[in-house]
Amino acid sequence: MAAEFEMPKLGLTMEYGKILQWMVEDGTPVVEGQPIIIIETDKVETEVESSGAGILRHVATVGETYDCGTQLGWFLEEGEDMPAMAAPAPANAESSAAPATAAAVPVSTAATTTSVDAGGRIMASPNAKRVAKLRNVDLRTVAGTGPGGRITSEDVEAAPAGGIAPAAAAGAAVAAGGIAAVAGSANVPATLAARNLANLLGVDLSQVASAPPDPRISKEDVARHVRELLAGAAAAQPSAPAVAFPLLQTPTSVLPMSGMRGTIATRMHQSLQQMAQLTLTMDVDMAAVAADRAKRKASGDAPGYTDYIIAAAAKALRDHPFVNSQVTDEGVALLPDINVGMAVAIDGGLVVPVVKHTDQLDIAALSAETSRLAEAARDGKLKLDEMEGGTFSVSALGMFGVDGFTPVINPPNTAILGVGRLRDDVAWADDGTPVKATMLTLSLTWDHRAFDGAPAAEFAQSIKRHLEAV
């Protein structure tokens, strides 16, 4: 019996996923648990395993973005045909009937015979319905080319638009200083994301230049066009802040701030805009940690220095619960579970996998978990739920020779700890004699809205005490 394969919800915050690759060909037998597709969320690229077994038939398209729960394919038995019906619509999907403002257009015979099921429902993917609403296209006039006559987003893109930009977009056009209407956009080569953004903002795609070598207009091209228009409008208002600095030279290349880089840029900028962030530094004598690590190394694998710091931070969070918190509309919410995230540098950016219930792990178990997460991060095999739920973060730059720095808080946390390099230093014995010491600098950034400088210093001192008493 046919069973649906849907876009999974891999974490609490995941709302949609973009298909990067089908790992098995259409019509291939698969077993439950077999990796069959690679998707991209706003946080991570990940392989998704088959939720069923049978002959896998593709419904969704590579490069498209789908809401969680949207049907991506079918699992069929040997010799079974793909059902000629649409995937179940999302709970919040609106009626597929044409908008009231759409012009009356005779219903095409092809559409009525191939894209409407026996119950009179229009067979269209949720993405096609969304595109149709944005382009004001009557789905009853569109002939579907998908499986069983289902209407795809490509079918909607090929159909003529049935009206003008939404009122909200028209208002945005006026506010932007004269962005053109979308009437001339229908036959311009452009990606779906570009059309969605252009329709939303009321941009005429025929006025937008594409970036070589791709002749199609991309979402970034539309955004750049809007920024240029906004910059022109701002020029008439000298008091308005500049949107961007002009280029000093012709660049050798431009690295797009999209995907992971774009997500990091957005989140870190929001973090600095929305929080009152301050940083303090504190030196720690790591002699006790070094001695314990040497002893463990003699009898087997030893934890890394960062593992000891994560463990000490988790104990300090237990001692000072106001740091294990987030700011809400109601106030500062103290969180019961201590989940420490650790920043891991990868090609193109960094990710922050989370050690769940960190305070409940001994140093050996903690070291094993951080090693596993770091390896998964570098191999691109982190699961989305392994990157969610962090209540505090640790970021280490000591391996690059850095002593102290100013880490930026990972929202919605209220603090983050930076870890510098181990260095030889001088300490003073009780009798005033200088002695060699192994020191390390901790940099604590905290949100001053949540707690003040004195409590922040006491929290840092607690970490220091736990490290020096190992």
For the question of whether the overall pTM of this predicted structure is more than 0.85, the answer is: no
Which carries the bigger pLDDT value, residue 158 or residue 288? 288
- Ranges of beta strands (E only) in 84-139 are none
Least confident of 6-20, 173-187, 256-270, 330-344: 173-187
Q: Quick one: pLDDT band at residue 327, thresholds 50, 70, 90?
A: very high
Q: Which two tokens stand for residue 411?
A: 């929202």
Same domain, 198 and 322: no
Q: Is the pLDDT of residue 158 over 90?
A: no
Last residue of one domain, picked from the residues 176, 205, 240: 240
Same domain, 367 and 416: yes
Q: Is the pLDDT of residue 239 over 60?
A: no
Asked if residue 434 is part of any domain, the answer here is: yes
Last residue of one domain, picked from the residues 206, 240, 274: 240
Q: Tens of pLDDT along 164-190?
A: 333 333 334 434 443 443 445 566 788
Same domain, 348 and 391: yes
**pLDDT the model gives residue 109:** 36
Domain, as residue range, for 61: 1-83
**DSSP secondary structure code for residue 236 in this structure:** T
Q: Tens of pLDDT along 399-419?
A: 999 999 999 999 999 999 999
Q: Tens of pLDDT along 84-143?
A: 654 433 323 333 333 333 333 333 333 333 466 544 567 777 667 777 777 778 887 787
Q: Quick one: pLDDT band at residue 221, thresholds 50, 70, 90?
A: confident
Question: In residues, how long is the chain?
Answer: 470
Percent of the chain residues past pLDDT 90, beyond the cut: 44
Q: CATH number for the domain including 180?
A: 4.10.320.10
Asked if residue 186 is part of any domain, the answer here is: yes
* Number of independent structural domains in the chain: 3
- 3 state DSSP class of 435: strand
Same domain, 357 and 411: yes
Same domain, 273 and 363: yes
The CA distances from residue 415 to 57, 199, 267, 306, 360, in Å, are 47, 40, 15, 17, 20
What residues are paired with 33 via a beta bridge?
Answer: none
Which carries the bigger pLDDT value, residue 427 or residue 105? 427
Q: CATH number for the domain including 266?
A: 3.30.559.10
Least confident of 21-25, 225-229, 341-345: 225-229
Average pLDDT taken over every residue of the chain: 81
Same domain, 281 and 232: no
Asked if residue 133 is part of any domain, the answer here is: no
Q: Using alpha carbons only, give the angle 334, 335, 336 rounded to the nearest 5 degrees.
A: 120
Least confident of 187-191, 221-225, 276-280, 318-322: 187-191
Least confident of 69-78, 227-236, 402-411: 227-236
Q: CATH number for the domain including 49?
A: 2.40.50.100
Same domain, 384 and 269: yes
**pLDDT the model gives residue 116:** 61
Asked if residue 386 is part of any domain, the answer here is: yes
Asked if residue 60 is part of any domain, the answer here is: yes
Asked if residue 110 is part of any domain, the answer here is: no
Last residue of one domain, picked from the residues 45, 64, 83: 83
**pLDDT the model gives residue 399:** 94
CB under 8 Å to 409, separation ≥6 — which residues? 271, 275, 277, 393, 415, 416, 445, 446, 447
CB 151 within 8 A of CB 142: yes
CB 49 within 8 A of CB 37: no
Q: Is the pLDDT of residue 151 over 70?
A: yes
Rounded-to-integer distance, Cα 414 and Cα 443, Å: 14
Q: Quick one: pLDDT band at residue 242, thresholds 50, 70, 90?
A: very low
The CA distances from residue 245 to 231, 241, 252, 264, in Å, are 10, 10, 17, 21
Same domain, 228 and 275: no
Same domain, 275 and 415: yes
Q: Is the pLDDT of residue 247 over 90?
A: no
Which carries the bigger pLDDT value, residue 431 or residue 315? 315
Asked if residue 295 is part of any domain, the answer here is: yes
Burial level of 285, CB count in 10 A (0-12/13-18/19+)? middle
Rounded-to-integer distance, Cα 195 and Cα 184, Å: 12
**DSSP secondary structure code for residue 448 in this structure:** T
Asked if residue 314 is part of any domain, the answer here is: yes
H-state helical runs in 159-249: 167-175, 192-201, 219-235
Same domain, 236 and 275: no
Same domain, 357 and 284: yes
Highest mean pLDDT among 104-113, 227-236, 290-299, 381-390: 290-299
Same domain, 304 and 220: no
Average pLDDT over residues 301-324: 97
Q: Is the pLDDT of residue 335 over 60?
A: yes
Which carries the bigger pLDDT value, residue 428 or residue 130? 428
Q: Quick one: pLDDT band at residue 307, thresholds 50, 70, 90?
A: very high
Angle between helices 305-319 and 287-299 (to 10 degrees): 120
